[in-house]
Amino acid sequence: MSVQYLTKESLEKLQAELQKMKGVDRPAAARAIAEAREKGDLKENAEYDAAKEAQGILEAKIKQLEGVIANARIVSEKDIDTSKVAILTKVTVTNMATKKTITYQIVSEKEADLKAGKISVTSPIGKGLLGKVVGEEAEVNVPAGVIKFRIEEITV
């Protein structure tokens, strides 16, 4: 698994989610299996099968989240270089075709939330903007074609 760059707050949120899964969701899944087991023949017990499947999905999520946390690197604002677009920077760009200006924050995949203006570093736009400096134009290949952006400002 690759390194995940996260803010301290995001890492704490993931750790709290993991604790909930282990402390609340896992015991609930075990109880659901026990209740379904008491209802009779396991070969024809759809409730038991569903409970076992839900437990498997939960365990996979726990394992995946543990991997993310184990590979997390905390990045603080004071460590961020704003001379070029990098992870956790906020970049204001102008779409050269529409002349609209928008600000994105470049974040890890786990933190991406387009409604909040946070785009993944691995998204087409995120990849296209990485390493660019103020005044530079970036041609970004997106599913709809190529979009040209001009970098207006880079902040934290």
CA distances from 41 to 30, 38, 150, 153 (A): 18, 9, 66, 65
Residue at 19: amino acid letter? Q
Lookup result for tokens 């952006």? 149
Contact 74, 85 (CB under 8 A): no
Is 1.10.287.180 the CATH classification of the domain at 4-74? yes
Q: Is 1 a residue whose pLDDT tops 60?
A: no
Q: Nearest-CA neighbor of 32 among 44, 46, 16, 43?
A: 46
Range 42-61 average pLDDT? 88
Range 12-35 average pLDDT? 93
Percent of the chain past pLDDT 90, that is, above it, reads: 48
Q: Is 59 a residue whose pLDDT tops 90?
A: yes
Q: What does the pLDDT read at residue 20?
A: 96
DSSP bridge partners of 138: 149
Range 119-126 average pLDDT? 90
Name the phi and psi angles at 39, rounded to 5. Answer: -85, 5
Range 67-84 average pLDDT? 83
pLDDT confidence band for 31 (50 / 70 / 90): very high
Contact 11, 37 (CB under 8 A): no
The chain-wide mean pLDDT, for the chain, equals 88
Question: From CA 118, how far away is CA 116, in angstroms rounded?
Answer: 6
Q: Is 46 a residue whose pLDDT tops 60?
A: yes
Q: Two tokens at 147?
A: 């979009």
CATH no. for 77-155:
3.10.50.30
What are the sequence ranges of the domains in the chain? Answer: 4-74, 77-155
pLDDT confidence band for 112 (50 / 70 / 90): confident
Q: Is 58 a residue whose pLDDT tops 90?
A: yes
Residue 63, burial from CB neighbour count under 10 angstroms (0-12, 13-18, 19+): exposed
Lookup result for tokens 């004071």? 78
